[in-house]
Structure 1
Amino acid sequence: MASQLHVLIVGAGVGGLMLAVLLEQAHISYEIFEKAKELKPLGSALSLHNSLMVIFEQLDMYQDILGISKPFGALHFLKEDMSVTGSLLARRPGVDCAEHYGDYNRVVGRPDLISLLLKRVPPHKLHYNKRVLTTKQDENEVILQCSDSTSYAGSILVGADGAYSSVRQNLYKKLAMVGALPKDDAKPLGYSYDCVVGISDRLDPNIYPVVLEEYCEFQAVLANDSPYTWWFMPLVGNKISWMVTHDVRKHGTDEDRNFRFSEWSPIAAMEMCQQVRHLPCPYGGTVGDIIDHTSADLISKVMLEDKFFSTWYSGRTVLLGDACHKMVPFGGQGANMAILGALHLTNLLYDMYSVSQDEITQVFRKYYDMRWKPAKTSVDGSKKTGILLHKKGVVADSVRFMFLNWIPNWAIKLGGDKLNARRDQISFLPYVKLRGSYSGSQVNPPSRRIVHKAYNARAV
């Protein structure tokens, strides 16, 4: 019955493209609508959680992921004088993630991940320069109306178009008109940090030998008195991903900060680069040296915002990723949550009995029930991590030092076990065996449409 579905996906980011890749495997009809004239991925690095590796293995993309990423080795926190406050290790002498859970987290440049996913999407299914103006839905279909006067009809609409989702805005406007939108969902996103990011060109390993190291070890530098924190993440291809964040929480309300700082133009990015280029770099020199080795068109200024929306669906429309749970990047969970959302939504769509409104509502409700709690936890956790990384003062310094240096390995392992409590897989493809010594993970059951004996999963 899933073959009768036609899914309209708005947004060709990580979540939207991952959903398309999964729908392609499920033989479910879909189209993607991207507002940009061409897809030019910006951004910094992503850390793909080790529990996602089984999904990429099912998709026969595991070796591809290994080829474009480095294993995450450690996160080092430095003071402005480059002295080390403390470190979190993902390999010995800490808790070795690959030995325990089968894989390390993999650090990949966002443009490389987008490019990899794009290769799995037939070009004719991706429509560019399609800015969504309005959406309409009834008991039988949902219709997109785009700014170029084109319209498209489908069975369901998935808003995977980011924090300022046009799909969500259209949906919420209609719900508000009938008094069905919770007050908290109508409030603006929490805006706490300004940020400039980029990925360098290929660097000379004689000057930056860190690019040749097997593991990616994050370097996060916390300023003494200024409101900045800056990060460096070595990537494959002799490149370094970098990010400088500006804590703007003292500048009034979210609306005040939005008015004062939310200029996203290339000029604004360059202006912020000029403001931070003097900051010291842990590899020698300054942040400006790395900026000078980064193509200007690959540098972007963004607002780091967060918000958990409680309304994810209505009628034939459902939200995915940042459109329903935007988080600041400090917990490294945004892309992971979007990928898991795409996984669970596709698994549910594959098992649909019909494309009736009642059936679609049941599927969306199950999707929300499965995803809201981990998404809410990730939003809250990322916010707390951001505060830990930016708060200034003696008390904050003491808390960071104790957290980074006194936390025992058993506590780190306990946290890792919690993150790996579930390692769900694509329910309609052959399951892969879970690697690692940890045997406590739960796996989702196979699709009801698949013969169970064809699967060989552990801990189902």
Structure 2
Amino acid sequence: MQNNITTASTNESRPKVLIVGAGLAGLALGMILQKSDTPYEIVERAPEIKTLGAAISLTGTVAPMFKQVGIWNEFCTLSRELAAVQVITAPEMETAFLVPVAENAAKRYGAEGRLLPRPALYDLFIRQVPKDRLHLGKKVVTTEQGPNGVLVRCADGSEFRGDILVGADGAYSSVRQSLYAQLKEENKLPEPDGLPLPFTSICLVGQTRPLDVSQFPDLAKPQCQFKNILGKDKPYSWGTFTTKQNTVCYVCMKFLSEEGSREKGTFKNSDWSSEAAQAMCNEVRDFPIVSGGDNQLTLGDLFDWTPKELISKVMLEEKFNPSAGEGGNNAIHDAIVLANYIHALPNKPTVEEVEAAFASYKQERISWVEDAYTVSQAFRIMCDAGWKATFVRFLMKNMPKWVNGIFERRVLSNRPQVYFLPRDETPVLMAPAPQASLNLKRPERKYVVAEGITQPV
């Protein structure tokens, strides 16, 4: 006899999905499921979605899904096409090299890479999810899995019942910690998963109020100007990004030594308060930036042009470097592929069928994520100090165009689509990589009721 998962509502035959975390991945998954017949709820610990963060760059690989769900045109009005990343060394403020963007990306791959303020992207995603599907101020304290599905308990006493639980709540996920505790008790937890994630850097981010072109001349250029500045003999890198909203987003990263990482390893929660950011603002205030004109500006000028509550600081774990732009792209790709496998589940799926769907999802995504992690780590090393950073910069500066083209085609070939929505048929010169979940189909199955339990035939 197969184990049976019953739905949270006896009136529904589709499995109900509980998504913990209203970050990019959680909202993207909800946005896609909203286009299907699969019920879902999003549970978020924060009492409100704050407009914090700097800019986020997305490659054209997200364009097919954005077009499928109907947000591509608005996304383009909110964002700017990304120009080549200019890498500058301080204090000389000389351009070391350019990190190129794909040439003729729209013709070759269907869309160009674009950049926009992170709050603008969050707002766009949130508006695709009905308010009654998003539950704020719900800190998850325990999760339980049993024969009748999943039970999520929150700190305020509220409970959510469903059939599939998706943890989209970050590196120190409540869902993950609850699962790990259960696996550890059963002696099934892999040793690497039991180790804490070391903090490797401190990141200061913000976005100015709208500025005049005379204050920051780069704002007049139609493409987003991304200037990444490397501190000489300093464990810092910092960068600026111009936006469609005539604001300047910025990020400053302080890289921790191994000893410093251990000292910071006791912190479990990212601190995004303006008070915590002020000390770091004072520390880096005099770091020079490039505005595109004769203005001699520093990070301090950007701080002065920014509402204090919109400057924030966070500890970053050893995962994706935010400057490489890999985190956002992969979060959205994850949501697309996972939504496909969830949608392809039969009505009233068994435990084995759900587990098989997640295993297939992992198999489809793992190699792409590993590639993205490698790129992100190389970018982090390039921004750091020391001989490794110097070597990576040398390689990037002198990389032959044909070698860069190989990496470009590999990265931009991964353009996943939602299989149950009309396909994006934008003409391209470079075909996308094969996508297993694009060929899925929900099986039809009959059921019988025996001794009060619904069983598949």
Q: 1:88 aligns with which of 68, 80, 99?
A: 99
1:260 Cα deviation from its structure 2 partner: 8.4
**Pair 1:63-2:70 in alignment:** no
User: Contact 2:109/2:430 (CA < 8 Å) preserved in 1?
Assistant: yes
Q: What's the Cα RMSD here? A: 2.1
What secondary structure, in the 3-state scheme, does the structure 1 residue paired with 2:84 have? strand
User: Contact 2:199/2:316 (CA < 8 Å) preserved in 1?
Assistant: yes
User: Contact 2:378/2:392 (CA < 8 Å) preserved in 1?
Assistant: no
**Pair 1:270-2:278 in alignment:** yes
Aligned length: 425
User: Contact 1:423/1:442 (CA < 8 Å) preserved in 2?
Assistant: no
**Structure 1 residue aligned with 2:451:** none
Counterpart-to-counterpart distance in 2, 1:259 and 1:135: 24
**Pair 1:329-2:322 in alignment:** yes
Counterpart-to-counterpart distance in 1, 2:107 and 2:306: 36
**Structure 1 residue aligned with 2:55:** 45
Counterpart-to-counterpart distance in 1, 2:81 and 2:198: 32
1:448 Cα deviation from its structure 2 partner: 1.8
- When residues 269 and 233 of structure 1 are mapped into structure 2, their CA distance, relative to the original with a 3 A threshold, is same
**Pair 1:375-2:348 in alignment:** no
**Structure 2 residue aligned with 1:297:** 309
- When residues 208 and 4 of structure 1 are mapped into structure 2, their CA distance, relative to the original with a 3 A threshold, is same
Counterpart-to-counterpart distance in 2, 1:222 and 1:149: 48
Counterpart-to-counterpart distance in 2, 1:225 and 1:242: 21
Counterpart-to-counterpart distance in 1, 2:44 and 2:137: 6
Counterpart-to-counterpart distance in 2, 1:173 and 1:262: 19
**Structure 2 residue aligned with 1:15:** 25
**Structure 2 residue aligned with 1:312:** none
User: Contact 1:140/1:357 (CA < 8 Å) preserved in 2?
Assistant: no
What secondary structure, in the 3-state scheme, does the structure 2 residue paired with 1:173 have? helix
Q: 2:265 aligns with which of 255, 258, 277?
A: 258
Residue segments in structure 2 that go unaligned for 5+ positions in a row: 1-6, 444-457
Counterpart-to-counterpart distance in 2, 1:229 and 1:352: 46
Counterpart-to-counterpart distance in 2, 1:99 and 1:341: 25
Report the TM-score when normalising by structure 1: 0.88
- Any residues of structure 2 matched to 1:74-153 within 5 Å, and which? 74-80=84-90, 81-90=92-101, 95-153=103-161
Counterpart-to-counterpart distance in 2, 1:402 and 1:183: 35
- Any residues of structure 2 matched to 1:133-282 within 5 Å, and which? 133-252=141-260, 254-259=261-266, 264=271, 265-282=273-290
Q: Which moved more, 1:395-404 or 1:370-379?
A: 395-404
Counterpart-to-counterpart distance in 2, 1:432 and 1:101: 12
1:267 Cα deviation from its structure 2 partner: 1.8
Amino acid at match of 1:70: R
What secondary structure, in the 3-state scheme, does the structure 2 residue paired with 1:25 have? coil
Residue-by-residue CA offset, 1:182-235 (whole Å, 9 max, x unaligned) = 110011113211110011110111221211211112101111122111011111
Counterpart-to-counterpart distance in 1, 2:158 and 2:75: 36
**Structure 2 residue aligned with 1:54:** 64
1:147 Cα deviation from its structure 2 partner: 0.4
1:396 Cα deviation from its structure 2 partner: 3.9
1:408 Cα deviation from its structure 2 partner: 2.2
Larger Rg, first or second structure (1 or 2): 2
User: Contact 1:224/1:392 (CA < 8 Å) preserved in 2?
Assistant: no
Q: 1:361 aligns with which of 355, 365, 369?
A: 355
Amino acid at match of 1:57: K
**Structure 1 residue aligned with 2:448:** none
Amino acid at match of 1:220: N
**Structure 2 residue aligned with 1:309:** none
Counterpart-to-counterpart distance in 2, 1:379 and 1:77: 21
- When residues 12 and 348 of structure 1 are mapped into structure 2, their CA distance, relative to the original with a 3 A threshold, is same
Counterpart-to-counterpart distance in 1, 2:143 and 2:76: 39
Residue-by-residue CA offset, 1:275-327 (whole Å, 9 max, x unaligned) = 00100111131110011111111111011212xxxxxxxxxxxxxxxxxxx42
Residue-by-residue CA offset, 1:53-86 (whole Å, 9 max, x unaligned) = 0110111111011011111111011011211100
**Structure 2 residue aligned with 1:454:** none
What secondary structure, in the 3-state scheme, does the structure 2 residue paired with 1:244 have? strand
Amino acid at match of 1:159: G
- When residues 403 and 258 of structure 1 are mapped into structure 2, their CA distance, relative to the original with a 3 A threshold, is same
Residue segments in structure 1 that go unaligned for 5+ positions in a row: 307-325, 451-460
What secondary structure, in the 3-state scheme, does the structure 1 residue paired with 2:83 have? strand
Residue-by-residue CA offset, 1:91-128 (whole Å, 9 max, x unaligned) = 6xxx3323322211111211111100111111011111
**Structure 2 residue aligned with 1:315:** none
Identity of aligned residues (%): 32
1:402 Cα deviation from its structure 2 partner: 4.2
Counterpart-to-counterpart distance in 1, 2:391 and 2:365: 35
1:399 Cα deviation from its structure 2 partner: 4.2
User: Contact 1:49/1:105 (CA < 8 Å) preserved in 2?
Assistant: yes
What secondary structure, in the 3-state scheme, does the structure 1 residue paired with 2:111 have? coil
- When residues 381 and 398 of structure 1 are mapped into structure 2, their CA distance, relative to the original with a 3 A threshold, is closer
1:372 Cα deviation from its structure 2 partner: 1.9
Report the TM-score when normalising by structure 2: 0.88
